[in-house]
Structure 1
């Protein structure tokens, strides 16, 4: 059984992506969000990987520095 993410969950991931794009480290984001750096990387990379799969191209330059 999977858990359906809420709008709040989506907004949280979008905020993490925005902060990574601004050059913030996973550690800094994790401290701000109250989670582990590994969780930040896993959640943001999951979104980027899904976009890359859909686009068929490396989009990392558009996500973060």
Structure 2
């Protein structure tokens, strides 16, 4: 069979890494009172997690530290 179209499919784009997906938070949260799965002294640096914690009822359980 002579065909002018290729039987191969185009390669799918590579998935983005988790570092590329989440932007850096403007600050780090440090846990001062344990809650959920977080322990005292643990740092929360992921921007999505920072936003969730600050939007929820556990805002008083963390300290904001400038990056």
Structure 1 and Structure 2 fold alike (TM over 0.5): no
- Report which of the two structures shows the higher radius of gyration computed on alpha carbons: 2
* Class of the TM-score when normalised by the shorter of the 2 chains: under 0.3
Bigger helix share: 1
TM-score (normalised: structure 2) = 0.24
TM superposition score normalised by structure 1:
0.25
